[in-house]
Structure 1
Amino acid sequence: MKRFEPLWLALIVIGALNWLAIGLFDTNVVAEIFGTGTATGVVYVIVGIAGLAMVPRLLEEIRLGAGRTHATG
């Protein structure tokens, strides 16, 4: 699964940029490109799968980060 992480991350960023465009400009870029049909739904499903695929990695980072000590200065 780790070999797919760059792809998952790219899809997550694309999804985040789409939500940014929706929030700032009230424009759904995915719907503009793919229309409002099945293709748009497929894109959303793929982006959702990418997000779920990265959950184990996120949990791994949280567990690893819990044991780290922070330098105080």
Structure 2
Amino acid sequence: MRTIQRIALFLVLVGAINWGLIGFFQFDLVASIFGGQNEFMSRVIYGLVGLSGLICIPLLFEPMRDLDVDTDRVSSRKLNYETEFSEEPEFTNVKTFPKKDKDEEK
């Protein structure tokens, strides 16, 4: 049934785009593609769009899914603060160079 609902939703979107074009620009895309509003194929498309709207009515009453909840993740209370690369090196064995006097630089 999901495939039929997806096809119906696609046809409803086609109808919505067509009605938007009619409303804003007075241009009927379906009629211009199939040769006029009274042509057989145009009437078939209009009929399919209407039936698709009826098929999509149950989608209005389905509960909304919460997509933000991720149930596969480990609890957020156990945080891991390690870096992903490796441990940071210790800089205790760094050699220091003697400071130069200003007189030696000249």
TM-score (norm 2): 0.54
5+ residue gaps, structure 1, are 66-73
Q: Which structure carries more relative contact order (alpha carbon 8 Å, separation 6+)?
A: 1
TM-score (norm 1): 0.76
56, 59, 67: which one aligns with 1:57 = 59
Cα deviation digits, residues 46-71 of structure 1 (max 9, x gap): 01111101112222x2xx36xxxxxx
Quick one: distance in 2 between partners of 1:50 and 1:14? Answer: 10
Q: CA deviation at 1:2?
A: 2.0
- Identical columns (%): 39
**Aligned length in residues:** 62
Mean Cα deviation higher: 31-40 or 1-10: 1-10
Aligned to 1:21: 21
Q: Secondary structure at the match of 1:17?
A: helix
Structure-2 separation of matches of 1:54 and 1:42: 18
Higher fraction of helix: 1
